[in-house]
Amino acid sequence: MKKGFEDILNICLDRISEKGDSIEQCLRDYPEHAAELEPLLRAAISVSEASSTISPPPEFQRLAKYRFLSALHEKGPQKGERRVGRLLKWQRGWAIALAVVLALFLTGAGTVTASASSLPGDTLYPVKTATEKVQGFFTFGSEAKAGHYMKLAERRLNEIEALARQDRTIPQSVLDVLNEDTEQALELLIKHKPAGKGLIIRLLAVTANQKSVLERVMEQVPPQAKLKLKEALTRSEQAHGRASLLEEIYPEMEKFKENKSVPWHKSGNFFNAEPSES
Amino acid sequence: MRDEENIARRLQNREPEVWTGVYEEYFPKVYRYILVRVSNRTEAEDLTEQVFLKALESVDSFKWRGIPFSAWLFRIAHNQVIDFWRTVKSKVSLPLTDELVSEDVDPETTVERNLDVKQVFQALGQLTQSQREVIELRFIGGLSVAEAAKVLRKSEGAVRVMQHSALAALRKRLSSGEEHEKGL
């Protein structure tokens, strides 16, 4: 079928934009249309080149990306399940915490001290986690709580490494708590505007360490255990990515703290992931 | 097509790495497209953010019917711009001005045939609405004819015809602009 001029024009435009052909190459293939084609192709290229000089301001781009990734994280499909799971664990945790307080009255602090080196599956492990919950209850302020969650995440990571070393099964619940504590710390740093930079850097170190330890553990465990470790690793990497963005936008957050103008966002709320009504 | 379908499914699963890839690829293109259409940086920034948040919000309603995700995204951008103009009092487009040229780019920067960037946007601003739309989607948004056709809800043949007449009109405006510059 004979091609019409519109088709030929479009073929040339696609060749130029997709294959990087020159105008001259195209004109050579369609000499009978060259006179008409050339000015149209040049007009199209001029628009394309002019628009390539437009780019979003880098500080806006960074903040927008951060807000978008936060919204994506909020809307994650497993979010609802995680909340319910966390709530159930929280209730169960508090029942155990109450038992710990009672146990302290009855047996003294020795049991709690002995539980510190226990691993998941050990008899004293519930005492260890319940003690942590009591400590969390008496930790006040977003920054201190974020630090507490990071410390817990570090402990869970040590436990995972120890279990792998002893060829013991790594329970899914420990991997979940590792990720949840890390994410809790991150959320607290986000909500606390701005968190101290030291804490952000610590979280970056915590998540980077998670990556290297989980990768190492993955090599030690049997194949059927690799998948759950891979999932935990992915969540750790995501938390690391979000912490990196947080570090990147730290100077803007400082400006925000000082009430400097933030022309790229009218609401003045850096962490407002909801689209404003137009 | 199977790849596109797979990407759409993974976006619906809200896989962060796929969303990040889409975001990084299309964010600057959507921003450019919107800025050229609204001629206001602050509004363009807000609208661009909303496009991606809306896409995230409504990705579950995205049904795979052979429409590429990029076309769907630009359809959201297109509707955002229409809503924007509906809400502003004046329905007359603002002139395409220096606002479009990045602060770090010299407005005298020359493009094809030594036209400066400002001249190109001025010529674009003189086209009809439908002529501008097709040029903006094709050469600013970087969509293919098939994708632009989905955004504009027209046939590919109709878009090819529109593209031809839009480029002819643009060429005419650019030539008259050049003659004006030379004092002819």
DSSP states of B53-81: HHHHHHGGG---SS--HHHHHHHHHHHHH
Site of tokens 């891979």: A230
Contact B35, B84 (CB under 8 A): no
Cβ of A223 under 8 Å from any chain B Cβ?
Answer: no
pLDDT of residue A30: 94
Cβ of A13 under 8 Å from any chain B Cβ?
Answer: yes
| B164·A44 Cβ contact <8 A | no
Q: Could you give the C-alpha distances from B86 to A119, B38, B97, in angstroms and in order? A: 62, 12, 21
Residue B164 has its nearest CB partner, among A5, A73, A275, at: A5
In whole numbers, what is the pLDDT of chain A averaged over residues? 78
Q: Could you report the predicted ipTM of this complex, rounded to two decimals?
A: 0.82
Cβ of A274 under 8 Å from any chain B Cβ?
Answer: yes
Residue A44 has its nearest CB partner, among B20, B49, B139, at: B139
Task: Please determine, for residue B68, whether its predicted confidence score (pLDDT) is greater than 90.
Answer: no
| pLDDT per residue as tens, chain A (278 positions) | 567 899 999 999 999 988 889 999 999 999 999 999 999 999 999 999 988 888 888 888 888 888 888 788 777 654 444 444 455 555 555 565 566 566 555 555 666 677 788 888 888 888 888 888 878 877 888 888 899 999 999 999 999 999 999 988 899 999 999 999 999 898 888 776 555 778 888 999 999 999 999 999 999 888 888 888 999 999 999 999 888 888 877 766 665 555 433 333 333 333 333 333 33
| B50·A71 Cβ contact <8 A | no
Phi, psi dihedral angles at B131 (to 5 degrees): -65, -45
Cβ of A268 under 8 Å from any chain B Cβ?
Answer: no
Distance from CA of B65 to the nearest CA of A (A): 23
Give this prediction's pTM.
0.57
For residue B171, give both structure tokens: 């060429």
Distance from CA of A165 to the nearest CA of B (A): 32
For A220, half-sphere exposure in the C-beta direction (CA atoms, 13 angstrom radius) is 16
Residues 6+ away with beta carbon under 8 Å from A262:
A252, A255, A256, A268, A270
In total, the C-beta contacts within 8 angstroms joining chain A to chain B are: 140
pLDDT of residue A230: 92
Q: Identify all chain A residues contacting B41, using CB atoms and an 8 Å cutoff.
A: 57
